[in-house]
């Protein structure tokens, strides 16, 4: 990219904008085939954003750190036919191209007047949502590394917010040359040689810690959603670690159902268990684990003020048609009650009680500090062999969010929340239990009479619908 007359090199259209997203050009410079190919993509996307695609950028303000793009809309309107394949197969190259094109389009429209590539403000990042093809956790393997994909699951663990080093200035101990070293995926690595080589052959460098550029980082863990028809016999539900950065921090809570779009990557197991990944064991072990570097997070968690208020996205056309047909039935309540576990004949009163438990009462306006619980609890008592367990399992399948546990094998921590100490540091994080995972849904506890002292852990959750944690 030659610097045209009138284009400031420190602008997003200049060389500094390119280096901010892609780093140094390398020995071949602007003559390299990779640079020329990326420049063609950036130019075409910039032209697209300025004319037909300006609606994707019109709401961005000066200091926004990201902007959201609907994946299907962007792919269908993009001038490049291969853009979908490029995003899925090469997200490390395609996402910076989209971001740089958007930054240049915004700068030409006078939006990025004060925001420069060399400023400490974080770079603009495109965040894709609405990918229809979800990838199951059982389908994640070595072929998925480096791909842009979407996964869904329950949040079972949320870590504390920490700071990761993105770049650091080093000083050569021999010639005194200072230079900046970037760390990809926050993996610390000391420089191998001095930039003045072969004039200077220094191999020892002093880090200038005061010059470190950091960003917020948070780790969460999700567990796959399994129904009875897809659950694998003899296997525990799979879990997957997710890394959140920048404005994605604190975007979900334990118990939320989330859809994560991001890049699948591999991390050395020993490096992942030690802060900063500087353990010497990591160099001698070749065992790696998969994780997702999140690009966007869509959470189903709702505040209590919005509770039980359906949105247009929650109801489909098929649901509206079914509502109209059911509303025309004279015995609507009886029809709904009989629809719960139809394989068990009778027990109309029990099914009616379960139906009322699923629906709950009307949410009271939060005008006072006193919490008025609108939901009811249901206790099913009966002789063995009457189908109590089958009714509970059918209830969890009917509810949008349902958790089934057996009381004789449950613990207090397994029902509420577990405080777990993170390996490699002294930080504690929360791991959700059955009640937290069933928040805004239903939690069915079988063999309730076989529980020991675990009943005490349910008092607060059943009365106040909260779980309190005190850790000193």
- The answer to the question of residue 187 being in a domain is yes
- The answer to the question of residue 2 being in a domain is no
Number of domains in the chain: 3
Q: Say which CATH number the domain at 32 has.
A: 3.30.1640.10
Same structural domain, 366 and 227: no
Residue with tokens 């200077």: 200
**Residue-level pLDDT, tens digit, the chain, 472 residues:** 444 444 454 567 777 777 778 776 665 666 677 778 888 888 888 888 888 888 888 888 767 788 888 898 888 888 888 888 889 998 988 998 898 888 888 888 877 656 666 555 567 889 998 888 888 888 888 888 889 999 988 888 888 888 888 888 888 888 888 888 888 878 888 888 888 777 888 888 888 888 888 888 888 889 887 655 556 666 778 889 899 988 888 888 877 888 999 999 988 776 555 544 444 444 556 678 889 999 999 887 544 444 444 444 457 788 888 888 887 777 888 888 888 888 888 888 888 888 888 887 776 666 556 667 778 888 888 888 888 888 888 888 888 778 888 887 777 777 887 777 766 566 777 777 888 877 778 888 888 888 877 777 788 788 777 777 776 5
Tokens of 64: 């926004």
- The answer to the question of residue 470 being in a domain is no
Tokens of 376: 């009811």
Domain ranges, residue 189: 137-299
Same structural domain, 324 and 273: no
Give the C-alpha separation, 218 to 227, whole Å: 29
Q: Say which CATH number the domain at 396 has.
A: 3.40.50.300
Same structural domain, 186 and 319: no
Same structural domain, 270 and 247: yes
Tokens of 358: 């699923």
Give the C-alpha separation, 353 to 7, whole Å: 72
Tokens of 270: 């020993």
* CA torsion through residues 115, 117, 118, 124, sign: positive
Same structural domain, 19 and 153: no
Where among 299, 318, 337 does a domain terminate?
299
Same structural domain, 145 and 121: no
Same structural domain, 399 and 422: yes
- The answer to the question of residue 169 being in a domain is yes
Q: Say which CATH number the domain at 262 has.
A: 2.40.50.140
Same structural domain, 120 and 181: no
- The answer to the question of residue 75 being in a domain is yes
Q: Using N-to-C axis directions, what is the helix angle for 33-50 and 91-108, rounded to 10°? A: 50
């Amino acid at each position: 990219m030659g610097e045209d007359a009138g284009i400031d090199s420190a602008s997003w259209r200049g060389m500094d904008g390119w280096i901010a997203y892609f780093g140094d050009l390398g020995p071949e410079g602007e003559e390299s085939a990779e640079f020329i190919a990326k420049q063609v993509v950036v130019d075409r996307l910039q032209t697209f954003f300025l004319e037909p695609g300006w609606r994707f950028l019109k709401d961005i303000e000066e200091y926004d750190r990201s902007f959201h793009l609907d994946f299907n809309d962007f792919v269908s309107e993009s001038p490049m036919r291969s853009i979908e394949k490029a995003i899925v197969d090469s997200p490390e190259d395609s996402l910076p191209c989209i971001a740089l094109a958007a930054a240049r389009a915004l700068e030409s429209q006078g939006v990025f007047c004060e925001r420069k590539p060399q400023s400490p403000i974080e770079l603009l990042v495109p965040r894709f949502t609405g990918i229809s093809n979800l990838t199951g956790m059982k389908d994640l393997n070595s072929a998925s590394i480096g791909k842009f994909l979407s996964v869904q699951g329950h949040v079972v663990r949320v870590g504390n917010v920490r700071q990761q080093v993105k770049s650091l200035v080093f000083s050569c101990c021999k010639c005194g040359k200072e230079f900046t070293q970037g760390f990809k995926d926050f993996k610390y690595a000391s420089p191998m040689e001095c930039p003045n080589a072969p004039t200077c052959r220094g191999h020892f460098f002093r880090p200038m810690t005061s010059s470190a550029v950091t960003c917020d980082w948070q780790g969460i863990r999700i567990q796959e959603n399994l129904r009875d028809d897809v659950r694998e016999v003899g296997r525990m539900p799979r879990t997957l670690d997710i890394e959140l950065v920048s404005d994605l921090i604190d975007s979900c809570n334990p118990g939320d159902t989330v859809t994560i779009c991001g890049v699948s990557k591999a991390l050395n197991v020993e490096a992942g268990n030690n802060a900063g990944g500087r353990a010497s064991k990591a160099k001698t072990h070749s065992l790696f684990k998969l994780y997702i570097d999140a690009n966007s997070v869509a959470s189903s968690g709702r505040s209590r003020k919005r509770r039980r208020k359906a949105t247009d996205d929650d109801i489909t056309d098929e649901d509206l048609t079914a509502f109209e047909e059911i509303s025309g039935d004279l015995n609507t309540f009886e029809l709904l009650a009989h629809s719960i576990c139809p394989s068990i004949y009778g027990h109309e009163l029990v099914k009616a009680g379960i139906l009322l438990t699923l629906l709950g009462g009307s949410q009271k306006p939060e005008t006072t500090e006193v919490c008025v619980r609108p939901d009811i609890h249901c206790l099913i008592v009966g002789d063995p062999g009457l189908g109590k367990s089958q009714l509970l399992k059918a209830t969890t399948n009917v509810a949008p969010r349902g958790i089934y546990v057996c009381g004789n094998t449950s613990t207090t921590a397994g029902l509420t929340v577990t405080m777990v100490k993170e390996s490699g540091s002294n930080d504690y994080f929360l791991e959700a239990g059955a009640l937290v995972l069933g928040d805004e849904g239903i939690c069915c506890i079988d063999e309730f009479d076989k529980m020991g002292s675990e009943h005490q852990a349910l008092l607060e959750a059943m009365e106040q619908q909260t779980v309190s944690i005190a850790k000193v």
